[in-house]
Structure 1
Amino acid sequence: MKRDQLLNKLAITVAVCFTLISSSCISLKKTELIQPLTIADYSQEFVNSQRDAYKINYGDNLYLKVYSSDVKTSKFFRSDFPELMNDSYIYLNSYKVDEEGYVQYSFIDKVMVKGLTIEEAQNAIQGAVEEYFEDVTVQIKLVNFRISILGEVQSPGSYSIDREQITILQAVSMAGGLKDFAMADDVTLVRKSANGSIVKKLDLTDSKILESEYLFLLPDDVIYIKPRPSKTYAFEKFPYGLVAGVISIALSIYAITK
């Protein structure tokens, strides 16, 4: 009788241990991004009407640089000087778009850039510079295109974007990808609006995210990926050694009393 009672207690202990282990595991379906709804979705084309590049707005800071093979022109625009191409240098040498949408560069007439893409603004300013100089190339960079990604990613922080557009999936990749306990199906996007901020919940596990108007990020967007409640029993905190020891003792006692 005692032997049976002992075995029953050991069986209960082992069952509890396995239950705890199971509860600390995360299904891949909860962290896998852009999962297809059906088999047909694997080859489906997702059309996104918001795929256009970012349009410049008032208050934006533009880094402008003019290059030329002519020595005198290069000296005039100081493009023959060595450059410290870091964020601070670029910001200090940038030009702000005024409230009317114009940018004033050097002695040339101010140029309307509001509503233009970086490439379009670059062509407009180059045309203005070419009225005075030949053989010049204008370079433009949007200085204030920064995003922040917080929460369950490998490298949370603020990132400077050196391209005209970036998707939320690319932003997650820049941050090193999701951690094991990330809630990819409940991501918060905070975006500036005319009246304050817009807060939007996004499901990165749904392939329909590729059609969302929030797929492409804008300057100053903040992404927060929260942890799942089960993180309390995360792998690094769970006493797997103790559980393994209990199971080992249970099996040993069972073998002796069999």
Structure 2
Amino acid sequence: MKIKLVTVILATILLTSCKTSNEITYFQDIDKYSSEQLTKQNVNYEAKISPDDQLSIFVSSVDPNAVAIFNLPLTSYLAPGEANVVATPTIHTYLVDNKGNIDFPILGSLHVAGMTRGELSDMLKEKISVYAKSPLVTVQIQNFKVSVLGEVNKPGTITIPNERVSILDAIGLAGDLTIYGERRNVVVIRDINGKKEFHRFDLTSSQMLNSPYYYLQQNDIVYVEPNKARRGNSQYSQNNQFNVSVASTIVSAISVLASLTIALLVK
């Protein structure tokens, strides 16, 4: 009888262990696919410029004087609480307005929303070529950021120094999922022309590597929902808090009644 009981306990432990491993291991089926199958889709990670983006645009040429008028001036500023002006000058950025436009020197108002950095660079080179010979244009998105929320070790907003960031990069920068993160249902929320789009990832499946949402866009939100264990613990904690609160109220009431009874008896 004891041997049977021990066998049942060991079997239960093994089954629980396997289930836990299946719930937290990434890319469980990766050995089923070849590298060609996992990269069959040509995923484009180039970010599209959108309203409220801050763009730095620098124009250079063989004749610097010819393109100087197209570059915003470098400025030094006084930081809050500092007595001395910051020694390293900074360049101003172009803020894309809510209509998707920027005001560019000489060229005036330009519609840039929906373009990639490369497309905007090509457009500016073509227009500036009228004024300067063989211009080179460098465009950067200065406020490229994503937010990672939910069951990760370091939730928050992450500033990305370049535009190539995958969902795995973002999760890594957020300290990876906690043990309570639901790996099979990670949500990416994206704003496209004022409309919200949602896409769900299963981190246990290698097919996520082929998703068009694998590379994130600026202002994307990654949300990792809690798994059943976390939700169960949360409910248990809430019930415990409620029970403690009720018990505390009852004890307080009994204490008050006891004090009143003693005071009446003394009189």
Are residue 35 (structure 1) and residue 28 (structure 2) matched? yes
Alpha carbons of 1:143 and 1:35: their partners in 2 closer, same or farther (altered >3 Å)?
A: same
5+ residue gaps, structure 2, are 80-89, 234-267
Tell whether 2:64 aligns with 1:65: no
Question: Is 1:218 matched up with 2:211?
Answer: no
The corresponding residue for 1:179 is: 178
Partner of 1:45: 37
Over the matched positions of the two proteins, sequence identity in percent amounts to 24
Give the direction of change, closer, same or farther, for the CA distance of 1:127–1:41 in structure 2 (3 Å limit): same
Residue 149 of structure 1 contacts residue 223 of structure 1 at CA under 8 Å; is this kept in 2?
yes
How far did 1:67 drift? 4.4
Structure 2 match to 1:242: none
Superposition deviation, residue 203 in structure 1: 0.8
Q: What is the aligned residue count?
A: 214
Match of 1:119 in 2: 118
**1:1-258 correspondence runs (5 A):** 27-36=20-29, 39-46=31-38, 47-48=40-41, 50-51=43-44, 53-57=46-50, 60-67=53-60, 72=65, 76=69, 77=71, 93-96=93-96, 99=99, 101-134=100-133, 136-194=135-193, 196-231=195-230
Distance 1:166 1:48, change over 3 A: farther
- Tell me if structure 2 keeps the 8 A contact 1:65–1:79: no
- 1:105 Cα deviation after fit: 0.9
Q: 3-state DSSP class of the match of 1:125?
A: helix
Provide the C-alpha distance between the structure 2 equivalents of 1:111 and 1:54, rounded to a whole number of angstroms. 18
Structure 1, gaps ≥5 residues long: 1-7, 234-258
CA contact (8 A) 2:66 2:131 kept: no
> Cα offset for 1:119?
1.2
* DSSP-derived class of the 2:33 partner: helix
Change (3 A) 1:109 1:186: same
TM-score, normalisation: structure 2: 0.61
CA 1:147–1:168 in structure 2 vs 1: closer, same or farther (change >3 Å)?
Answer: same
TM-score, normalised by the number of residues in structure 1 = 0.63
Check 1:69–1:175 CA distance in 2 against 1; reply closer, same or farther (3 A cut). farther
Q: Which residue of 2 aligns with 1:250?
A: none
Deviations 1:146-192 (CA, angstroms, capped at 9, x unpaired): 21001222321112233334321221122232233322112122222
